[in-house]
């Protein structure tokens, strides 16, 4: 539980730093996939909470809560930044944020299963072309 909590807390802090250091919210959105790419760069690893989420039914309840919090933190940050960037309306920001989070974590899982970080990059690029992520 403590490891999962520290993971989402560190992720939340990084996301806030990313936004603070970016010239505009759209720039922060463009950099968001980097947060998941780093795990792949680190010996083809996957995000800890994504890994734990895949075993959700077998986790103790306190760990489940922390794993859910990781997703909530990411979706809340994305929703806030999408609204700030005027990418979507405030009503559409949370559904779009969930879609982005699911898509990016899915791209990470695909790339990991093939030990191919170039696949991750290609999938993320396709999200940009489709308009899910800003170009």
pLDDT tens digit sequence for 47-56: 776 777 888 8
In a domain, 46, yes or no: yes
Write out the residue range of the structural domain in which residue 52 sits.
2-130
In a domain, 61, yes or no: yes
For residue 18, the domain's CATH number is 1.10.357.10
Alpha-carbon span 12 to 41, nearest angstrom: 20
DSSP-derived secondary structure letter, 23: S
| 89-130 tens-digit pLDDT | 999 999 999 999 999 999 999 999 999 999 999 999 999 999
The tally of domains found in the chain comes to 1
pTM for this prediction = 0.92
Alpha-carbon span 67 to 48, nearest angstrom: 9
Q: Check: CB of residue 120 under 8 Å from CB of residue 40.
A: yes
In a domain, 102, yes or no: yes
């Amino acid at each position: 539980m403590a490891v999962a909590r520290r993971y989402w807390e560190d992720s939340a802090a990084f996301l806030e730093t990313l936004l603070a250091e970016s010239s505009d919210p759209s720039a922060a959105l463009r950099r968001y996939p980097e947060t998941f790419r780093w795990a792949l760069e680190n010996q083809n690893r996957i995000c800890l909470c994504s890994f734990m989420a895949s075993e959700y039914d077998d986790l103790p309840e306190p760990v489940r809560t922390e794993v859910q919090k990781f997703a909530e933190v990411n979706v809340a940050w994305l929703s806030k930044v999408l609204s700030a960037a005027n990418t979507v309306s405030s009503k559409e920001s949370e559904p779009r944020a969930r879609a982005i989070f699911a898509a990016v974590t899915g791209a990470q899982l695909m790339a990991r299963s093939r030990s191919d970080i170039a696949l991750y990059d290609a999938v993320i690029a396709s999200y940009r072309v489709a308009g899910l992520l800003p170009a």
